Structure 1
Amino acid sequence: MSTFRDVFGHEPQATASAPGRVNLLGEHTDYQGGFVLPTAIPQRTTVSLGRNDSGEHVLHSANSHTTLRVPVGEVGTGFAPYLTGCLNLSGVQEGLDVHVYGTVPSGGLSSSASLEVATLRALRELYGLELDDVALALRGVQVEHQFVGVKCGVMDQMASSLADTRTMLLIDTRTLARRAVPFPAGAEVLVIDSGVPRRLAESGYNERRAQVEEASRLLGVKELRDVQDITLVETLPPVLRERARHVVGENARVLAALQADAPAFGRLMNASHASLQGDYAVSHPRVDELVALLQAHPDVFGARMTGAGFGGAVVALVREGRAVAVADDVLSGYGHEGRRVVP
């Protein structure tokens, strides 16, 4: 892998990293003020910065061996908006050399949020920005909205900025209140990349957000977080009814998981996947196949797709000490380009 010095011929002035995340429960609820339950994963994105005394940013991805040049104040194309969005929102008015290297797989594990948080952490170090970890996460969300074109919620950036790998992080995405929650006793987390790529800005993500916003309007509530009786969504027209049913049910599943043992937690994950597959229609046939193989394994308590969907990764809660063996068993029968990510 090329280093910053290899590419630019000088040492960086700031370097920072941030983890990817996997969400155990609470999918597609964070843009409706709901509850989410992510944890950080070991894989990270590292960003290094250095001034270049020019009027352009030189952006290098060590993963793709690609270098982009973008004039200061502009956005650029390809992977550039994730970086230039951070630079522009942080008021950077000088050219920077930027080196990026990441081990977070794309698709469901928040590689983009990891990139944004790492970039903002490096900028905070370089310029002494007064950004706490929550404000930093919210700036990452602004980057997605204003520069990338994905109307995401706050979960991914909050998890990348604040979560660790030892606990789950319960986040109330309306108030941003949060607390660490232990994993169910006797269980561990397994994450498998399905091998099916996806691109959120080209998927139905923004469409789903518009649908649940319309459902909220028709129900007369600020957000579906405010619907306590799930039967109320049955008054909505088709499609909006199904989308709202998922969000309301998913919020209830997160809250139920806080008191659940491993088997009960697994059943909630299974129900979540069924809802994402049916009511929210954001899964993929290969993802469903991988989830079914996991759910059928005797050492798996439950499994579901994770992330926005349309491909990407799956997460399973498995018997403690059995994650690697479960992954080997399941991947041998999967027949696609899947691979174990965690542990």
Structure 2
Amino acid sequence: MKQSGGVEGAGSAVGVVDEFRRLYGAGPEGVWAAPGRVNLIGEYTDFNDGFVMPLALPHRAVAAVSRRTDRILRLHSADVAEGVVQLGIDALEPRSDTGWAAYPAGVVWALRAAGHPVTGADVHLASTVPTGAGLSSSAALEVVTALALNDLYGLGLTGPELAVLAQRAENEFVGVPCGIMDQMASACCTEGHALHLDTRDLSQRQVPFDLAAQGLRLLVVDTRVKHALGDGAYAARRAACEAGARALGVRALRDIPYAQLPAALDRLAAAGESEEVRRCVRHVVSDDHRVERTIALLDAGDLRAAGPVLTEGHASLRDDLRVSCPELDLAVTTALAAGALGARMTGGGFGGSAIVLTEESAADQVTKSITEAFASASYTPPRIFPATPSPGARRLS
């Protein structure tokens, strides 16, 4: 999907209402928004029942929606060069569509599979969340669709319940074995906070995250690249984690205390588990611990001290999980050399984005240094913008 360049742009409520009316001949019943997210710390931990700490971005997917009673779903995106996609909701089948429409259609399928009386809809979508950047553009589409249908059909589902249904849509209908973090972040984050989420029981805590008050800035560096190596690699890492948990006799890697990690790795070696399994286990258990360390620092009001923890996380993703790439590594090393407090890749890797924690006074120099480093390496120019903790999914009108 081609995304608009600004945070508002095609994602404005007025714009989607006008386009909905042009497409469908009448105004929508309402307009909803759901944000993309960036993950501060805790990567590849959500499908291991572990801990994560995302925050919502100002970039969002916006949906204008009306109900239908004829079991027809009509979908249109401002960001795709094609017309209205029309589907019969009774004929929706998992893995039947690999295009953008699979995400909102999968939500309708998941709602109906759960017994909710959705009888069709007209939907127009517009998004400012960059795709392929590790910022959860797909989750934003899913959550905004789920929230709109929840409101219109009076389903009474909570944010976490909508997130679970959206995850099911992505796992079973689209066929991506993602964890729950992206959908929970889009559905449940609040403005000015990071979300401390336990992905096992979905308990959550909104942690104040006021960067400006501490003279800090969190930058997102969208490398604007996605390497083919990433295709299928996420599923392979998940399989390795599950193999490690089975070998250790636990439900999930979250159940291995950090203090017991060396002994657990010795057990895996003795059992003949591969180096890949051992590396994945080491990353997940240590990254869960990094989330706990970061929470403690935020609670103590010492966000600056979290910088080195972020950098440790990048080293683990690069060396143990092996999901980084030259562009991400260059963004991190250049940011640190320019005076950043910490930096790491975020998201699934093999491209996508990095985050940089820096003093406000150094943000411009860090940005300039990364841009120049990419130019010197003949890489695609990166897109760099501040991550402002923003509201989660909500109705706009």
Q: Check the 8 A contact 1:51/1:96 in 2, yes or no.
A: yes
Kindly report which structure 2 residues correspond to 1:53-68, keeping only aligned pairs within 5 A, or say none. Answer: 54=70, 56-67=72-83, 68=85
Whole-Å separation in 2 of the counterparts to 1:161 and 1:4: 24
CA distance in 2, matches of 1:191, 1:288: 14
Distance 1:162 1:198 in 2: 30
1:81 equivalent in alignment to 2:102: yes
**Which residue is equivalent to 1:119?**
145
Please tell me whether the aligned partners of residues 20 and 110 of structure 1 are also in contact (alpha carbons under 8 angstroms).
yes
- Change beyond 3 A, Cα 1:82–1:205: same
Alignment correspondent of 1:339: 383
Q: Which amino acid aligns with 1:312?
A: G
Q: CA deviation at 1:55?
A: 5.0
2:158 to 132, 137, 151: 132
Of 264, 286, 300, the match for 1:249: 286
- Equivalent-residue separation in structure 2 for 1:200 and 1:126 (angstroms): 41
Q: 1:194 matched to which residue of 2? A: 223
Matched residues in 2 for 1:201 and 1:96: separation?
34
Secondary structure, counterpart of 1:171 in structure 2: strand
- State the alpha-carbon separation in 1 of the partners of residues 140 and 252 from structure 2: 27
Decide whether the 8 Å contact of 1:29 with 1:247 is kept in 2.
yes
The aligned counterpart of 1:239 is 276
Q: Deviations over 1:203-251 (max 9, x none)?
A: 3111111110010000111111111111012432311000100000001
CA displacement at 1:78 relative to structure 2: 0.6
Inter-partner Cα distance in structure 1 for 2:222 and 2:155: 36
Correspondence for 1:281: 322
- Tell me whether 1:37 sits opposite 2:53 in the alignment: yes
Check the 8 A contact 1:193/1:313 in 2, yes or no. Answer: yes
Query: 1:53: how far off?
Result: 6.0
Matched, 1:161 2:161: no
Listed one character per residue, the Cα deviations across residues 80-126 of structure 1 (whole Å, up to 9, x for unaligned) are: 21111111222265442211100011121111111111111110121
Alignment of 1:100 onto 2:125: yes
CA RMSD of aligned residues (A): 2.0
> Aligned equivalents of 2:118 and 2:181: distance in 1?
29
Q: Which residue of 1 aligns with 2:348?
A: 308
Q: Cα deviation per residue 1:126-166 (whole Å; 9 max; x = unaligned)? A: 11111011111111111111111111111111111111341
Tell me if the contact between 1:273 and 1:304 (Cα under 8 Å) persists in the aligned partners: yes
Unaligned runs of 5+ in 1: none
Structure 2 residue 199 is the aligned partner of structure 1 residue 173? yes
The correspondence for 2:332, drawn from 282, 291, 299, is 291
User: Which piece of structure 1 moves more, 256-265 or 47-56?
Assistant: 47-56
Matched, 1:70 2:110: no
Deviation at 1:176, TM superposition (A): 1.3
Pick aligned residue for 2:247 from 218, 224, 232: 218
Between stretches 181-190 and 232-241, larger displacement belongs to 181-190
Q: Counterpart in 1 of 2:36?
A: 20
Deviations 1:177-216 (A, max 9, x none): 1112233744221111111136899331111111100100
Which of 344, 357, 363 does residue 323 from structure 1 map onto?
A: 363
Structure 2 distance, partners of 1:101, 1:31, is 29
CA-CA distance at 1:296 after TM superposition: 1.5
* Partners of 1:150 and 1:200 within 8 A in 2: no
148-157 vs 230-239, which deviates more? 230-239
Q: Please say if 1:90 is aligned against 2:111.
A: yes
What is the number of equivalent residue pairs in this alignment? 342
Letter in 1 for 2:306: F
Q: The residue matched to 2:134 in structure 1 has which SS?
A: coil
Q: Judging changes above 3 Å, is the alpha-carbon distance between structure 1 residues 281 and 257 closer, same or farther for their aligned structure 2 residues?
A: same
Whether the 8 Å CA contact 1:85–1:147 is kept in 2: the answer is yes
Higher relative helix content: 2
Is the contact between residue 338 and residue 365 of structure 2 (CA under 8 Å) also seen in structure 1?
no
The one-letter code sitting in structure 2 at the alignment partner of 1:10 is A
